[in-house]
A = this chain, B = another copy of it.
Amino acid sequence: MKKKIVIVGLGLIGGSLAKALKVQDDYEVLGIDTDEETLLDACSEEAIGGKATVSDLKEADLIYLCVYPEAAVEFVRQHGELFKKGCIVTDTCGIKSAVCKGMEQLKERREFIFVAGHPMAGKEFSGFSASDPSIFVGASYLIAPCGAPDWAVEEVASLARKMGFGRIVMTTPQQHDRVIAFTSQAPHALACAYVMSPRCREHKGFSAGSYRDVSRVARINDVLWSRLFLDNKEALVTELDTLTENLKKIRDAVEKGEEDALRSLLRKAAKIKEEEG
């Protein structure tokens, strides 16, 4: 018998996940979305086999929560009592501490297994219409086991591999949020601050790769990213303060005309980048 997977939230990530899983023969993939239009699109594009009913939620072997952090916890608060014993619940949220804490509290009274996940993939467009399983190919899939048994963690990892992810990385919610503040959130904050320069209006014809790369993610979903930033406040503020301090060192060396100090700062950065290999 096919395993039953329910995907909650068919946006960019949920939609891509559905498309990537639907082609696997061993699974029946069903979906839930608050937007009827999205559900219809997902059905007609055959990204899902159909809308998940209450009895599907009861029978589900695996539930992917592909919604905002708060909504993920809220979905389980409302429907968690339906999930069968041993059902694996996993999420795809960009922050982990807040989600894991919420799930931890809910698990006490329920029998599902929670494994936190974060597919490190995306693009600067959102919604089901932008979904595309090729964004997963070769990317990292981060997993915070959160006390789940090994077989459940392995199941989530195995599905990620089937979806095309190139690397499974085990982490803790705390490490995840600290590093993600650096690798993902700070660049988004940075890109937004960058394009706010009055000189941005003049960039056409004067820009090449540097402008394109730094400004790319300024095309941001403000609702989603405000939530992610606020849910990871401490780590992100630390990261932005570190960045501002380092930027100030470069700025001050430029202003004071200290060529040696400036070169030494740039050389330090170049060395870090070169050594990442």
Contact = CB atoms under 8 A, between A and B. Distances in A.
Interface in A104-128: 120-123
A192 interface: yes
Nearest to A215: B273
Total copies of the chain: 2
A237 B213 contact: no
Given A179-B199, A205-B167, A210-B187, A269 B239 contact: no
Contacts of A262: 222, 226, 229-230
Nearest to A178: B199
A139 B257 CA distance: 32
A121 B211 CA distance: 12
Contacts of A241: 251
A3 interface: no
A85 interface: no
Given A175-B202, A200-B182, A219-B274, A269 B192 contact: yes
A176 B207 CA distance: 11
Interface residues of A, number: 92
B273 A195 contact: yes
A208 B192 contact: no
Contacts of A248: 244
A191 interface: yes
B208 A233 contact: no
A27 interface: no
18 contacts: A142-B205, A169-B205, A179-B203, A179-B206, A182-B203, A183-B199, A183-B207, A189-B247, A191-B210, A199-B239, A214-B214, A218-B269, A220-B273, A226-B262, A226-B266, A233-B255, A237-B254, A237-B255
Per CB-CB distance, the 8 closest pairs between chain A and chain B, nearest first, are A192-B269, A182-B199, A187-B210, A222-B266, A193-B246, A169-B205, A213-B213, A193-B247
